[in-house]
Amino acid sequence: MKFHITTFGCQMNVHDSQWLTRALESRGWVQADESEAQVFILNTCSVRDKPEQKVYSELGRIAAHVKRDETVFAAVGGCVAQQVGTGFFDRFPFVKLVFGSDGIAGAPNALEQVAAGKGNRLALLDFVPVYEEREQPEEETVTIPETRQAFVNIMQGCDNFCSYCIVPYTRGRQKSRHPDAILDECRLLVESGVREISLLGQNVNSFGLDKGGVGVSFAELLTRVAAIDGLDRLRFTTSHPKDIAPEVITAFGELENLCPSLHLPMQAGSDRVLKAMRRKYDIARYLSIVDGLKAARPDIALTSDIIVGFPGETEDDFQKTLDMVEKVGFESSFSFKYSDRPGVAAVNMEPKVSSEVASERLMRLQTLQNNITRKCLKNLVGVETHAFIEGLSRKQGTNLTSWKGRDLAGRIVNVEMHEQSGLVGMMVPVRIVEAKKHSLNGERIGELW
């Protein structure tokens, strides 16, 4: 069977799609372009309304392929699948499988059943009480990305129930993987040539605190993964401020391969709004975390998520958010207008902020953030670092080949070199010579490794 996967949303969805691809390929299925695909798989996101609407639009496009070939079918997985469930069967007859976040482990077998005509329509929507390990490829069949970077899932679900967030309802309650399984996967990846690993979870800081935990904290897990011989870079996301332990903060100054970057969602700069969001920390607590991180690793790059226009947000509340963005000095942030999600507490909160006001606030926030980002990048001119090459730059010069890499903090660094091929997955020492709007230009100052 020829299949095509379209992924929406977060890095966890990207990782899930990569795993599903490997699992199907191990069964003899083949990745294909849309024009050749017999099975269309959508891995979906419902954290905001816009990604959800994209799913319906994408299914509308797939309907055209079904009209040309009635044997073509679709499967919908991820958060929208968990949310809408079997409703997809009524609206889109060519959808033969829906699977939620916990159901993905059974998706390869279910797809085989549907393709073989052994199941007309299947739904894998039940939440499981503990993390269900997914099938892993045999060591000799492990394929790693050309970039030699990999994601490793350490947990599933969330117990926080922030008032605006649909994640606990679509991904279920928190379930931690056994640390031994995580370490086995990380070792296998490194032994196969991976140089950078990113640990993934809805809230990695609370790893091991659920009933699936075995007494290993996130800080301990970080230390164990960092100790794997041959691992050059280690990252993790996402990190809830209320659960970050002092040992995790300290780790940034103690673990050499733990990259000096942290995505620490603030969401709002007003204590009143944070309380309404049920974030369970205040601005004083958030700033104490920031101070601790900067003390442990002065060169750490902090990024954040911010919601504007939350129900009841006043101009004074919003101004406090702007003040916090400037005070912390986030290198970048993902900022969005609040949107109601079905079933969450904030749906019933009043007063709603008008779309016009929210849009105006979002523009002001993003203008401020762009200015801070430019200053942060400009301050890096003259700094020496290593760029981990991911591929060719979009823009090419006239004489040398321009390559795109990332520094320790994950910033894009473009560097021109004589080599025209073969550099993906290599490290190159560079000196930053120019700051652009959202990237850096560097010059090579040493040998590749």
CATH code for the domain of 436: 2.40.50
Q: Per-residue confidence at 383, pLDDT binned at 50, 70, 90?
A: very high
As a whole-number percent, the residues of the chain with pLDDT over 70 amount to 98
How far is it, in rounded angstroms, from Cα 337 to Cα 166?
15
Do 75 and 160 have their domain in common? no
CA distances in angstroms from 199 to 219, 242, 373, 439, listed in the order given: 12, 19, 25, 24
Report yes or no on 76 lying in a domain. Answer: yes
In this structure, the answer to whether residues 326 and 393 fall within a common structural domain is no
pLDDT tens-digit readout, 176-216: 999 999 999 999 999 999 999 999 999 999 999 998 899 99
Q: How confident is the model at residue 143 (pLDDT cuts 50, 70, 90)?
A: low
Residue 417 lies in a domain: yes
Kindly state whether residues 45 and 103 are assigned to the same domain: yes
Domain CATH for 282: 3.80.30.20
What the block records as the tokens of 414 is 């473009």
Q: Which domain holds residue 406?
A: 384-444
Same domain? For 367 and 388 the reply is no
Using CA atoms, how far apart are residues 242 and 159, in angstroms rounded to an integer?
A: 12
| Cα–Cα distance measured from residue 422 to residue 130, given in angstroms and rounded to the nearest whole number | 43
**406 within domain boundaries:** yes
Of 360, 378, 396, which closes a domain? 378
The answer on 388 and 350 residing in a single domain is: no
State whether 165 and 301 are in the same domain. yes
Token pair recorded at residue 332: 């970048």
Task: Please indicate whether residue 295 or residue 166 has the higher confidence score (pLDDT).
Answer: 295
C-alpha closest to that of 315 among 347, 356, 358: 358
Q: Are residues 240 and 287 in the same domain?
A: yes
Mark whether 269 and 369 lie in a shared domain. Answer: yes
278: nearest Cα among 241, 303, 314: 241
Does some domain include residue 303? Answer: yes
Q: What is the CATH number of the domain that holds 49?
A: 3.40.50.12160
Among the three residues 378, 405, 420, which one is the final residue of a domain in this structure? 378
List pLDDT tens digits, range 29-80. Answer: 999 999 999 999 999 988 777 778 889 999 999 998 998 898 999 999 999 9
Going by DSSP bridges, is the β-strand pair 196-200/233-237 parallel, antiparallel, or unpaired? parallel
Residue 129 lies inside a defined structural domain of this protein: no
| In a shared domain, residues 302 and 428 | no
Please say which residue of 350, 378, 406 terminates a domain.
378
- Judge whether residue 137 has pLDDT over 70: no
Do 77 and 221 lie in a common domain? no
Number of structural domains found in the chain: 3
Q: Is residue 405 part of a domain?
A: yes
Q: What is the pLDDT of residues 221-277, one digit of tens each?
A: 999 999 999 999 999 999 999 999 999 999 999 999 999 999 999 999 999 999 999
Cβ burial, residue 81 (10 Å; 0-12/13-18/19+): buried
Residues 188 and 265 in one domain: yes
Instruction: Say if residue 168 is in the same domain as residue 288.
Output: yes
What pLDDT was estimated at residue 447? 96
- The answer to whether residue 133 sits within a structural domain is no
Cis ω before 351 (30° cut-off from 0):
yes
Query: Please, what is the Cα angle at 125 between 120 and 127, to 5 degrees?
Result: 150
Q: How confident is the model at residue 398 (pLDDT cuts 50, 70, 90)?
A: confident
When pLDDT is cut at 50, 70 and 90, the band that residue 141 belongs to is low
